[in-house]
Structure 1
Amino acid sequence: MMFELTKQELKDYGYVRSLKINWKKYKKVNQLEHNSEPIVHCIKNAQFDSVVIPGFFDSAEYMALNPEVLESDLHPLVHYEESKKLNKPVNRPSFFTKKRASKTAKRPDKTNLECVLFSRQELEDFFYLYVSPIHWINFQSGNISGDEIDLICYAVKDWKTNRIVIKGVYDSDVYLAKNEDVKMEGVNPLVHFFKHGSSEKRISKLTNENRQFEISTIRSQNINWDGFFEFNLIPDNKQCDPVEYYVDNWHYENLRIKGFFDSAFYLKNYIDISAIGMNPLFHFVTNGMEEGRKGFLDIAQYIELGQQSFDENLPTIAIVSHESSATGAPLVGLNLGNSLNSRHNVMHFVVRKKQIHGDFLAGSCFTITNLTDNPRFFTKALVEAIIAKYPLIGAVCNSVETFEILDVLSELKVPTVSLIHEFSDYTLPKGKISSAICFADRSIVPANIIKNSITREIKECFGIDAIPNSITVQPQGHLPYIPTIYGDNLTADELKQKFDLSSEQVLIVGAGYVQIRKGVDLFIAVANYLNIKSPGRYKFVWAGDGYDPDNDLAYSVWLKKQIIESNLEDDFSFLPHQRSLGNLLSITDVFMLTSRLDPFPNVVIDALASGVHVACFANSTGCAEFLENNESSSSIASYADVSGMADKIESYVVRLPGVVEQTIRTNQDLVSQHLDFEKYAQYILTEIEEANRIVAQRRDNELSIAQSGLFDYHYYALLDSYSRGLDHYVKCALKGMHFSNPNPAFHDGLWVNSHPEHLCSVPLSEAIAANQHFTHNNTLLDGDFDTVDIRCAIHLHLYYLDMAEFFIEKFAYVPRNCDLYITVCSKHTIEQVKQAFSKSGFDFIDVVAVENEGRDIIPFFSGLKKPLFESEKYDVVGHFHSKKSLDNDTGFGDNWLNYLTDNLLPSTSGINQIFSLFTNVNLGLVFAADHHIVDYGKNKPFADDLCSAMQIEHLNKAANFPVGTMFWAKPEALSRLFELDMQPFIQQEPLGYDGSYMHAIERLLPHVVENSGYEITTVYTQGTSW
């Protein structure tokens, strides 16, 4: 089949194909023929017909909502994706509207447009070259010219008759002459080179020509070569040209150009360049700089001298802030540095410079800054160089927004304390705060409500119930220093005049940048209730920037409307940012915090220190928790209960002015006793001492595990190197956070369940000390195994019929004498499935229609009970089912299914090896080892019901079980489930992601097998993961 595309269509094809779209679903939804090309269909029809990408995009609706797309003649999907990248506002289509808009462009006459015919293979080649890192500016072939698409088309269509050259990289004549196998195979040599030849270091260019091209290219750059030989300690160089010397010798020497480039640094950190043996300087000047790559590390560019003297006799401590601004977390960092700098050398790390950067310099010996947009390796190299020169006793990472620095400090074994000032609910990406807890040795939060938010996120993101032992609760204290910044500083009298505030009126104040999280609308709603109760009694002020109803259509314009409709125009004021809130608080009767979520804002502490009555919502802030647990003058209403808040404030106000002195005394005493910043700083130092002890623990545990050789970082699968993987495993385990298993024969969940008193320890390290190197039997699938004489059957529950080809391919490894039973959910599909599997090679195939209930489990244990169990025909049965990623992120189910089948159906030899295990009369169940640690979830009560029905002991904790419910087993080992009346346990589909009898059976399988007197084992194929 040939496809005719215009140049623009080709460009759109490359772009659209790069997107993560399920094209199988696309074909089905858009009713395309089996042999059609869905991406070409999308490219050619999205502007003119209603093209639907399931759950993602509808072209007709998008163009109706965004008419400029029609006018610009752009492909709607390309327009949508590009708009997202550039943060341009567009109207997104929704699949939840009851009535969809519909508008498409008229299909133009393209008879005068030049089109190119492509075969399927040529389209594949086109796309591969489109996404490959080719610098088309260096492309040469005859007199061909044009843009990137023209050149790719030429390279795809004309390589057989024309020489293709990419200067300094590739020459098709040389490549074909030097690589006879490529020539014989008849594939596009340029595609082959970038797909295979480059990494295989095949000869692809003329050496002399390449050398001259590198020299001329580098020489054309504005590089200062003065002192090159002296800087690299190269003697007798008077007759040498530095550019030629570099080109000829970079392979053998670590050549550097002062203030510009370091070859070793570049090759170490950009493995894509070192892997292909490319001249690093040539790459840097032609592409690397433009791509934002770093050519060298010069720490002097990042260190600013502070105003405090460095004393080598004092300990050095780092305080990391995400910016040097006069906002919550940075002000805490600034004051912490000021508090500690009399007894420590303080080094501030400031990721981004902002308006009070000078104050950070004033309170430190050094400030490390300009840390944005650096690759991780560069940040690590920078921090490593700094701490080598200035060793740290610890680092305080102030806010989760400093995570990139925390990550590096933790790997370098700097004792770290993380100050978490954020709720996980509004922190993106999800899991960021949980990761900060994992990486920091100790973490301090201002209130338990923040801690609870973190544990919820850990459960949601990682699927484990864990309360890390590293989290402590301590509010930050009253800030002793607030820098003078922009804004007015009106006196108390000027403020009273501005608000037209009489002595009889009550002033209620809120503060913060105007945004929905701060709950300014809730503040106005409370004001409305109070004004209705006592007209003219109150004045209301919101202090802070951000109110802009003329331009802010997202929030401010609606606040203005709310004020007007509440008849508050004469009694409500927005006060722009003040240099200090002291004067405003001195005339305030009630400070009202109406934030939807606000951990422990400094302004509340300021209000308490000023002796002001504080009102807030429960479960919205740590302040509510703090005020409830201590003697205070405060009003706390239920979450977002504006009428309740108004009633509580009214109850306080009616006692004015008689309670003013008591309010001042109570709240100021509260601050002095519990919110003293010096005590907070001392608390942090105590936590740094504990962090030092933990780092020593980490080192000891890592050493014992490394010496044992029992940690498999490929299997652990959470980080990209052995050292980082082991580091992560140890530091998380010490907090009681067990995410992943260290090797296929060791399951942390099993160890912890057997040693609950050691939850916050490193299971593998403990096991090594006890000379117990595994928690369960595991077999690595390797070697060459012959056919085993065994009676075998396979059950496949094929809910998704389009997965048939996948299983036909996987079942090709199964011995032909196995019988195959397939269950489907409709009798109308029986013949279709039989026909599909008729080519699979099984001697016996039976396709059975079952009800769509009980997932894959009821069809196995009830639907096929007679042939698989009661007949006693089989020694071993295998259970498989089609799995798709409907409950999780895209690709989750696909990866899972591939992993399970790669381990349970790995190869003919691998399956024979699995069957050989069953010659052990005691073995009853084999399933794939899984590095994930999955517990009962919501399934414990369902499991208890099932255990009672089977008359076996209840299973207290679930750990090592066939995640995904795929396995090989002896039927009699599962007799209790085959004999169980399943009817009472069938729940109506669709079942949720967790919490059902079917999920409980998945977790109970090993327990059932062991209660029948059999053993279990896991299997693992090296190199597999998900």
Structure 2
Amino acid sequence: MTISGQTKSDSDAGTDLPSEGPLVEALRAELAAVYASTSWRITAPLRAVRGKARPPQTQAVPEPSNPEVELIRRSGFFDEAFYPGAEDARAMGISPVEHYLTKGEAAGLAPSRLFDPVYYARRYDDVVKAGRGRLSHYLLSGKQEGRSARPKADDLDFPTDRLDPNRETVIVAVHEATRTGAAILAWNIIGQLQRRYNVIALLKRDGPITQALVSASCGAVILPEKFVLVDAELDALVRQFVKHYSPRYVVANSVETRYFVPSFERMGVPTVSLIHEFSSTVRPLGELSQLFVTGSQLVFSANIVAQSALDDYKSLHTRAFKVIPQGASALPPNDAAVGTTATGGPDNLGQIPSDDGSVWVVGIGTITMRKGVEFFIAAAASVQRMMPSRPVKFGWIGKCYWFDQPYLDYLNEQVKRSGVEASFRFLSEFEDLEPVYRRADICFLSSRLDPLPNITIDSALRGIPTVCFDEASGMAEILKSSKQTSGLVVPYLDAEAAARVIVELANHPAQWQAYSDAIRAVASGRFDMVQYVEAIDKLGLASVDANALVELDRAEIMRRDAFNPALYLGPAVSTMSADEGVRKYLHASRLVAPRGQPRTGLVVRRPLEGFHPLVYASDNPDYDEAAGEDPLAHYARTGFPEGRWKHGVIRPEGAATPVSSTLRVVVHAHFHYPELLGDFIDRIARNETPVDCVFTTTSEERAKQILEALSLSDLTRASVHVVPNKGRDIGPFLNALHKGLFANYDVIGHFHGKRSPHVDDAVGATWRDFLWGHLLGDKERMMDIILGAFASTPSLGLVFPEDPHLNDWDDNREIASAVAQQMGLSLPLPLPLPLPNHFDFPQGTMFWARPAALEPLARLGIALEDYPDEPVPIDGTLLHALERLIPFSATHAGFRYATTYVQELLR
């Protein structure tokens, strides 16, 4: 059998590293001093271009005395024969080590097999942020700190000796090789897929059925115990899988294998994720986000399981997913004896009560709180009190892990105090449950939450009536769907109700037989392992085909230069190439089809300034989404056609920045946080267009702080007004607009001291800098540029930043629809709804506008008391609806909008 995955050593990926002598230690100390010096920091820009201007020479130039060069040369981590840049170094007339330092490391060239600079930078981004050389950092401090020089995956074995060269390969990821439901299901899936493919098992953890998984497959890769589940390690692991197996697709069995999904998808290998767990059992909330927004195919075992995820994750509402109950699972053999909760080993048939005419009720599963064993015992006590005509015995079959021993102690005490010692027994785990099923009369699923346990499938297929709690399992959901079996489902955690059903079945053999026949019929029509795996295979292959279309779109987008990596990737643009960005966009876009549905912008970002792909997909009659083509690719192929999906973009590059303007301009700024005012005033002062300023704030003390700040500035044409703390920034603004306070102005700028208390301070500061930078300026005089566009374009009514996020109504559609009706909003669009699903709007509610463009909103006359009280929810309020209606107001008033795009301002 082929089992691999353990590293050679626990230290440094198992690599035998070179030993260090006194000279290396001395060089390390010298280089540490150099790094700490002021001159080293000052000359950083010169070192970055070192060697680029040197003419090619035929003879090597002696290296200057450089402790960094010497440290690497003598470290044993540089192999000139291995280094890919050695020839280029000789052509440049420098040594290979110096070439590595000046060019090779930044280009991702490895100095030897002992060190991977790309991995090191991704694994430890603090090194990159500090501006330190990667290998130098490792030699100076990284090694001593226990950092890895190479990915752990580089030292794993990837077995290929049992692969059939005439078959394609599929990977099945298994979170642990225990005798639990998900792992047993994985063993069955592997066995079915192995009939058609080479199957390789990716095991997150070893366990009792490891050998069974290996025997059923072409081999297994088992991650070492200390494998860290971070992107750098996972991407390196997946690269090895792609290198050795070129897999068609991956089956990620259970959410505990979610860590592998994003990496496989990044490498172009689609995944089929089988989700058996309730979302509420996976915490903290957000742990499943990446799975839901990257996995090609999502398969839930029951509707109740899917609904649990939908309740917790808005992004899942954008995805198509399947609900497919798994088939009946055969049990794999154990690798070794398994600890049990009772004396005797597994399959001790003496534990099973003799067929003495009594009714035997069984519960099966690992003894843990989720299984609700206390309700099983409570039902036994209730049945005993009801005194049925036939004696009823209860048995729980399963082991208990050491960490749940206190729970088992509590259960034993419950058995004793309930007085059911004579009719209740804990049994050990059984490797073969057939003798249990032959003797069992009733199965009671007492779990609090249990998606679709294998034992209930097995029981149902054998005609064993299965009593279960409503809203607790997929089996309850299935039984409720049939009138003939719905009586087996009792209210949630109502052990007394379960006992009454058990007594009815014990007292009335004809009723028991009717339920037996009905549950067998229901099960035989639903639970088929062959069909289940065939459905998984079809989903995997469909994603393979979809990826092939994505590749055609990627080539077209790149050829036509129709993708902006800085806009799409945001801060990640420093670590991802444009090609990687296009692939990421196309993958996300594909997953949310049909793209015209609400909330798809939660997954898809804007790939190109001036273009909204989701509007294009929903509005362009020439675009056929069913053909599998991406809207951006179609937009590029068809010559970038005009439509609601396209808008003007104002850029600082090459734009005229008038020193003065004939426009009368006013800036309205609401500052609940006056401490942010200094930066705001400074940004206005960088521009030259004269403006009046109207400040609003929420207390006399804050007004005093604003006046003090203004007294130190050049903004002499400014006023400050105290308003109630209602309506945030938009309330005071629309109130002033309604009262005609801005009637004498041509253009209004609306701003506020953006701070988002519900998120990290850094997030709020980044967003504020993004908005102010786009609308006022940072290095550029954006206010002047924008006002110049207003002066030259009478039809321009609204300008706001080009945001990469494609949010839509979110939780605000109902409120927005009511307000839109009050506005008398009409859209020149053949839409079935008064408001389209996708649109652009000023996220963050900062913009420049003509007063006439906002008149439809101003006419509403919304009073401050109409706004919600503080603290305001993060979504679903009048404030959020008005923010989204601003561009509709401008369009309704006969104006068009444009966005600003400043490339270096990322979000």
Normalised to the residue count of structure 1, the TM-score between the two structures is 0.72
1:914 aligns with 786
Work out the CA distance in 2 between the residues paired with 1:1005 and 1:550: 57
Q: For residue 612 of structure 1, what is the aligned residue in structure 2?
A: 464
1:126: which partner in 2? none
Q: CA deviation at 1:246?
A: 8.7
Which residue identity does 1:1013 align to in structure 2?
G
SS at match of 1:616: strand
- Structure 1 664/1007 Cα, relative in aligned 2: closer, same or farther at 3 Å? same
Give the direction of change, closer, same or farther, for the CA distance of 1:263–1:693 in structure 2 (3 Å limit).
closer
The equivalences for 1:124-523 within 5 A come to 167-171=29-33, 179=39, 192=41, 207=65, 218=75, 260=114, 278=133, 280=135, 283=138, 287-288=142-143, 290-295=145-150, 301-304=156-159, 309-370=162-223, 372-373=227-228, 376-428=231-283, 430-459=285-314, 462=315, 465-466=317-318, 468-469=319-320, 471-484=321-334, 485=336, 486-487=338-339, 488-496=345-353, 503=356, 505-523=358-376
Q: How does 1:879-894 map to 2 (within 5 A)?
A: 879-889=750-760, 891-894=762-765
Matches within 5 A, 1:816-965: 817-863=690-736, 865-866=738-739, 868-869=741-742, 872-889=743-760, 891-907=762-778, 909-919=781-791, 920-953=793-826, 954-957=834-837, 959-965=839-845
| 8 Å CA contact retained: 2:680, 2:772 | no
Displacement of 1:490? 4.3
Distance, in Å, in 2 between the alignment partners of 1:997 and 1:281 is 56
1:748 pairs with 2:613:
yes
Letter in 1 for 2:586: V
- State the alpha-carbon separation in 2 of the partners of residues 791 and 752 from structure 1: 40
Cα 1:687–1:139 shift into 2, 3 Å? closer
Task: Give the drift of 1:767.
Answer: 2.0
User: Is the 2:301–2:325 contact (alpha carbons within 8 Å) kept by the matching residues of 1?
Assistant: yes
Contact 1:900 1:928 in 2 (8 A): yes
SS of the aligned residue for 1:320 comes to: strand
Q: Report the residue type matching 2:648 in the other structure.
A: N
Partner Cα distance (1:264, 1:942) in 2:
49
Please give the alpha-carbon distance, in whole angstroms, between the structure 1 residues aligned to 2:137 and 2:403.
53
Per-residue CA deviations over 1:507-554 (Å, capped at 9, x if unaligned) read: 3332333333333344344445444434895433333333779963xx
- The one-letter code matched in structure 2 to 1:685 is D
List gaps (5 residues or longer) in structure 1. Answer: 1-134, 142-164, 180-188, 236-244
What is the aligned partner in structure 2 of residue 975 from structure 1? 855
Distance of aligned partners of 1:612 and 1:316 in 2 relative to their CA distance in 1, 3 Å threshold = same
| Paired amino acid for 2:29 | K
* Alpha carbons 2:796, 2:895 under 8 Å: kept: yes
Structure 1 equivalent of residue 566 of structure 2: 714
- Where 2:443 maps in the other structure, the secondary structure is strand
Aligned residue in 1 for 2:586: 730
* Structure 2: 5+ residue stretches without partners: 1-19, 52-62, 87-94, 340-344, 593-599, 827-833
1:702 is the counterpart of 2:554? yes
Secondary structure of 1:977's partner? helix
Q: What is the rounded CA distance, in whole Å, between the counterparts of 2:569 and 2:232 in structure 1?
A: 20
Q: Write the distance in 1 (CA, Å) between the matches of 2:691 and 2:98.
A: 63
**Aligned 1:68-87 pairs, distance under 5 A:** none
Q: Distance in 2 between matches of 1:363 and 1:884?
A: 56
Using the TM superposition, give the Cα deviation of residue 745 of structure 1 relative to its aligned residue in structure 2, in angstroms.
1.1
Whether contact under 8 Å (1:616, 1:636) holds in the other structure is yes
Equivalent residue in structure 1 for 2:651, among 768, 780, 784 = 780
Matched-pair contact (CA < 8 Å) for 1:273–1:280:
no
| Aligned partner of residue 674 in structure 1, secondary structure | coil
Deviates more, 1:850-859 or 1:987-996: 987-996
1:267 to 1:549, Cα distance in 2 relative to 1, 3 A: closer
TM-score normalised to the size of structure 2? 0.80
Select which of 765, 769, 775 maps to 2:633: 765
Per-residue deviation, 1:860:
0.9
Maintained 8 Å contact 1:250/1:263: no
Q: Distance in 1 between matches of 2:683 and 2:115?
A: 51
Deviation at 1:505, TM superposition (A): 4.3
Is contact 1:323–1:353 with CA below 8 Å preserved after alignment? yes
In the TM superposition, residue 445 of structure 1 has moved relative to its aligned partner by 2.0
Aligned pairs (5 A) from 1:93-112: none
For the residues of structure 2 that align with 1:654 and 1:194, how far apart are their CA atoms? 91
Question: 2:595 corresponds to which residue?
Answer: none
1:1012 corresponding residue in structure 2: 893
Given candidates 540, 544, 556, the residue that maps to 2:394 is 540
* Cα pair distance change 1:729/1:234, threshold 3 Å: closer
CA positional deviation for 1:229 = 9.0
Q: 2:426 maps to what in 1? A: 574
Q: Aligned equivalents of 1:196 and 1:231: distance in 2?
A: 29
2:597 corresponds to which residue?
Answer: none
Alignment of 1:1024 with 2:905, yes or no, is yes
Q: Quick one: distance in 2 between partners of 1:732 and 1:518?
A: 37
The count of corresponding residues between Structure 1 and Structure 2 is 820
Q: Secondary structure at the match of 2:184?
A: helix
1:654 to 507, 512, 528: 507
Structure 1 residue 447, shift from structure 2 partner: 1.9
State the one-letter code of the partner of 1:207.
S
For residue 51 of structure 1, what is the aligned residue in structure 2?
A: none
Instruction: Identify if the C-alpha distance between structure 1 residues 465 and 692 changes in structure 2 by more than 3 Å, giving closer, same or farther.
Output: closer
* 440, 449, 452: which one aligns with 1:600: 452
Contact 2:687–2:781 under 8 Å retained in 1: no
Does the C-alpha gap of structure 1 residues 695 and 519 become closer, same or farther in structure 2, counting only changes over 3 Å?
A: same
Distance 1:278 1:820, change over 3 A: closer
Matched-pair contact (CA < 8 Å) for 2:549–2:629: no
Equivalent of 2:878 in 986, 997, 1005: 997
Q: Which residue of 2 aligns with 1:584?
A: 436
- Maintained 8 Å contact 1:808/1:840: yes
Distance in 2, matches of 1:444 and 1:949, equals: 43
SS of aligned partner of 1:868 = coil
Letter matched to residue 426 of structure 1? T
Matched AA of 2:446: T
Counterpart in the other structure of 1:21: none
Q: Secondary structure at the match of 1:346?
A: strand
Aligned partner of residue 584 in structure 2, secondary structure? helix
Identity of aligned residues (%): 26
Cα distance 1:513–1:827, how it changes in 2: closer, same or farther (>3 A)?
Answer: same
| Cα distance in 1 between the residues matched to 2:823 and 2:775 | 28
Q: Is 525-534 or 618-627 further displaced after alignment?
A: 525-534
Describe the superposition over 1:764-797 as per-residue Cα deviations: whole angstroms up to 9, x where unpaired.
Answer: 1232233236622222233461324121111111
> Does structure 1 conserve the Cα–Cα contact (< 8 Å) formed by 2:799 and 2:900?
yes
